[in-house]
Amino acid sequence: MKVTFLGTGTSVGIPSIGCDCDTCLSDDERDKRLRASILIEHEERKILVDASTDFRYQALRCGLKHLDAILFTHAHADHCFGLDDTRPIMFRNKIEIPCYATAVTWEGLRRVYSYAFAPAVSGVPRIIPHTINDRFKLFGLEILPLTVMHGPLPVTAFRINDFAYVTDCHEIPEAALAQLRGLEVLVIDALRFKKHPTHMTLDQALAYIKIVKPHRALLTHISHDIKHAETSGHLPENVEIAYDGLEVTSS
């Protein structure tokens, strides 16, 4: 399967409005980070993980015309406010898009998108909600939802075959950690250098990478504290900072 990083930034996006720090003013394209989301492509199927605030621009930028499913990690604004912008895909292709989330995440999504669940309303996102709590098959891929902690909020990490996407968390509980062994590619939250109550620092992410030992690790959900070129030089060999537009393959 192919994974494209549609966005690798923290909730405010980089550059951050009004900020004149080195990263926000950087000319390096890798320092321009839209809100975190990935697109998984497998045998002609396209699965979006989170519909970010920047979904519209992300879809236009990569020429996305179709979606077969959306997986949600949690219902924070930066991960779900783009769901409304998936409507052209639904309308043009005359489809309803199956969406997968845990009961906790659906609670948040139903609050934000109450109008999409109201009967007989037109012009709203057409979704087919699926509540997940255990492994399931999707277009031939084995998808294992794992619970990680984002402050007090349980967030869903996804292991898909030998690839895992672990965004928005400050802690990976033992049960999830046990399911992250033997990965070809691990994508993991690394917000900044300084401690944060709901996200991992770069050091915390590196510590988990050391435990899990993926073949390749990619950092995401990055704030302006981390400048791509500067920090990249100090990372272990199997660790890279992901950037918008990066494509990776995994089995």
Closest contact distance (angstroms) between CB of 37 and Zn ion is: 10
Closest contact distance (angstroms) between CB of 32 and Zn ion is: 12
Q: Which is nearer to Zn ion, 78 or 244 (CB)?
A: 78
Binding mask 167-196 for Zn ion (x = CB under 5 A): -x----------------------------
Closest contact distance (angstroms) between CB of 65 and Zn ion is: 26
Cβ pair 184, 215 in contact under 8 A: yes
- Contacting residues for 98 by C-beta, under 8 A, at least 6 apart: 68, 69, 70, 127, 128, 130
* Residues 5-64, interacting with Zn ion (CB under 5 A): 11, 16, 19, 21, 24
The token duo for 185 is: 């590619």
Q: Judged by CB under 5 A, which of 78, 85, 189, 244 binds Zn ion?
A: 78
* Residues 215-234, interacting with Zn ion (CB under 5 A): 224
**Binding of residue 104 to Zn ion (CB under 5 A):** no
Q: In what order do the strands lie in the sheet with 37-42?
A: 127-131, 97-101, 69-71, 45-49, 37-42, 2-7, 247-249
Q: Dmax of the chain from CA atoms? A: 55
The token duo for 80 is: 């779900």
Binding site for Zn ion (CB under 5 A): 11, 16, 19, 21, 24, 76, 78, 168, 224
